[in-house]
Amino acid sequence: MSETTSTPPRASTPQRSSAPPPKESPNSPKIDPIYYFFLFPALLAFTLAITVPAIVGFGYSFTNSIGFGDWEFTGIRNYIAVFRDEGIVGAYLFTLGFALVTVIITNAIAFFLALGLTARIRFQRTLRTVFVLPMVISGIIIAYVFKFLFSNTVPAIAQTLGIDALSQSILANENLAWIALVIVHAWSTIPPALLIYIAGLVTVPEEVYEAASIDGASPASKLWHITLPLVSGYVVINTILGFKGYLNAYDIVVGLTDGGPGVATRTVAMSIIRGFEGGDFGYQMANAAVFFVISIIIAIFQLRLTRGKASFGS
């Protein structure tokens, strides 16, 4: 991440600055082997649990394996079938659109909440805790609670108030169910984004604002010309992490809409996992490989777009 930024994230961690990292210091001749020792277990675990299975799985994407028993090589048939599969192409389009909308909404709300929560307000600590609470609840539980709200509470309120448009559950509406997904994902993922923004905003030194005030800058232009440029690095982090998370949306989708109504909200991760369960191992491995490549392309694109422009505080 650091190579994409113009300044190292020094300012965000002032407490730990007492021990300078030896890697960055040009005149430290030897690197203490203890660092490798620290890295090794994680590297080993990652290799065994992620890299090796991924490579093996990639191999299976050229077979008709059901994950068990005999299999035969089928060449690139699975890949051809993936691109011909209306359901899978639909899932890609839905997932990309959904991730895009959600990442924008989540970041906008989280950013303005962070502005509010770093300002000198009453009950700042209490409010911060309240806003971060959704983070500790597991996705599937959130999904079930919201499912109840959307299919019972919201229609009941709408009926009392005479709002016809909302008197039927939006989860049962093919054209609106995605909105429910965006709302619930935003609700549950605003906290981590919020925390990162708060961390970013506290690094902007007060003097800059004072200087701006002396020059007569309005609050809006302070936000636009000072705050945003100085925390742009955090925006990048949140967008990339958020986008990646929404691309993999699974648990909330399963709990809330189960890909429905119809196939209106079926995500890529869902088709992959459902396929595995249905014994379509080789085929969904091909799908997963395609998904992996697409995710990488998106990440590279995001990094390119922001290279050299991101800043982490002053």
Q: Which residues bind another protein (CB under 8 A)?
A: 64, 66-70, 74, 77-78, 81, 84-87, 151-152, 155, 168-169, 171-172, 174, 258-264, 266, 271, 274-280, 282-284
Judged by beta carbon, residue 77 or residue 222, the one nearer another protein is: 77
- Tokens representing 92? 């890609």
Cα distance between residue 270 and residue 251, in whole Å: 9
Judged by beta carbon, residue 48 or residue 305, the one nearer another protein is: 48
DSSP letters along 244-308, please? HHHHT--HHHHHHTTT-STTTT--HHHHHHHHHHTT-HHHHHHHHHHHHHHHHHHHHHHHHHHTT
Q: How many CA atoms lie within 13 A of 84 on its CB side?
A: 7
Residues contacting 157, CB < 8 A, separation 6+: 166
Q: Kindly report each contact of residues 122-129 with a partner whose C-beta sits within 8 Å and lies 24 or more positions away, as own/partner.
A: 128/198
Judged by beta carbon, residue 92 or residue 283, the one nearer another protein is: 283
Q: Which of 288, 286, 229, 305 is nearest to 77 (CA)?
A: 286
Judged by beta carbon, residue 155 or residue 242, the one nearer another protein is: 155
CB of 294 to another protein, least distance (A): 20
CB of 129 to another protein, least distance (A): 20
- Tokens representing 179? 């909105």
Q: Which of 161, 154, 213, 204 is nearest to 184 (CA)?
A: 154
CB of 133 to another protein, least distance (A): 23
| Cβ contact 286:82 at 8 Å | yes
CB of 41 to another protein, least distance (A): 16
CB of 263 to another protein, least distance (A): 5
CB of 166 to another protein, least distance (A): 12
| Cβ contact 143:251 at 8 Å | yes
Strand partners, 73: 63
Judged by beta carbon, residue 103 or residue 266, the one nearer another protein is: 266
Judged by beta carbon, residue 50 or residue 100, the one nearer another protein is: 50
CB of 66 to another protein, least distance (A): 6
Judged by beta carbon, residue 81 or residue 298, the one nearer another protein is: 81
